Structure 1
Amino acid sequence: MVLDDIDRALVDALLEDGRASTQDLAAAVDVAPETVERRIEALEDAGVIEGYAASVDYDELGYDVTALVRLRVGESVAAVAETLATCAWARSVYEVTGEADFLLVGRFRDTDDMHENVAELLTEPAVRSVTVDVVLDAVRACEPLWIGDGVI
């Protein structure tokens, strides 16, 4: 789907406030509410908008430790990927190039929780090594990619 300036403005407005009303979105992008409804439906149908979700502050819920976990695996990359997809603590799982085969971003209640969950990965026969980097400070995390400036 080719996005025009109105589509990009709508996506940005929804990134700013996913609960904005049709009227608020129409005012923000200077089009009629009917146009907003039609455009959003087209963006959803095209898969540009995949859903709407709440933004959660995990620190407030007691998940005080963020860690980057790198795994090197043997030949069973697909099998390990399936296992990693089920790790509830993993906020993101990426198959990557470089020395590691996978990079995970995890949230944990404390370092004991982190150790327990990461150590479990070592029981997977294909996992050759695990390296963990604990995040000291999040300078910027999970920020939306604004598209209104014509980047996409």
Structure 2
Amino acid sequence: MELNDIDRALVDALLEDGRASIEDLAADVGVATETVERRIEGLEDAGVLTGYAATIDDDELGYDVTAVIRVRTGGATQGIREALGEYPWVRSAYEVTGEDDFLLVGRFRDTDDMHQHVAELLTEATVRSVTADVVVDTIRACEPLSPRKPAE
């Protein structure tokens, strides 16, 4: 589906606040509430908007460490694909091309917690190596569709 400027603005506004009212969205985007209702329904019908979810602040829950974990397997990836879904610390998991087979983003209480959980990956039969990089700072995450306008 090709999005126009109004659709992009609505998606961006919903990414910012998935609980925004139709009236607030209309005011933000500068269109009538009926237009917002029609456009959102169209985006849902087209499968662009697939649901609405709460976001959490992991830091407030005591998860102070974010790590990017690279996993290499012995070639068979199906078993580990299923196992990765069982680890509660895995926030995102991607099967990737290149030297590594999987890229994970995990959240941990501290580095000891990270070491303990990442070491569990090595007990998986097909896992050959695991590398973890601690995230120092988040620069971008879940950015809007529309390019940001430079500050004036």
TM-score, length basis structure 2: 0.88
CA contact (8 A) 1:66 1:134 kept: yes
CA deviations 1:21-67 (Å, max 9, x no partner) are: 11111122222211211110111121111222222221121111111
CA deviations over 1:105-152 (Å, ceiling 9, x no partner): 1101112221221111111111011111122x2141423233367xxx
Alignment of 1:1-150 (within 5 A): 1-135=1-135, 137-147=136-146
* Partner Cα distance (1:139, 1:109) in 2: 17
SS at match of 2:103: strand
The CA distance in 2 between the partners of 1:66 and 1:50, in whole Å, is 27
Percent identity of paired positions between Structure 1 and Structure 2: 66
Q: What is the aligned length?
A: 148
For 2:91 and 2:38, how far apart are their aligned partners in 1? 33
- Describe the shift of the 1:141–1:62 C-alpha distance in structure 2 as closer, same or farther (beyond 3 A): farther
RMSD over equivalenced CA pairs, Å = 1.7
**Cα distance in 2, alignment partners of residues 33 and 105 from structure 1:** 38
Query: 3-state SS of the aligned residue for 2:34?
Result: helix
Q: Which runs of 5+ in 1 are unaligned?
A: none
Question: Under a length normalisation based on structure 1, what TM-score does the superposition of the two structures give?
Answer: 0.88
After the TM superposition, list the runs of 4 or more consecutive aligned residues in structure 1 that deviate by more than 6 angstroms: none
Structure 2 residues without counterparts, runs of 5 or longer: none
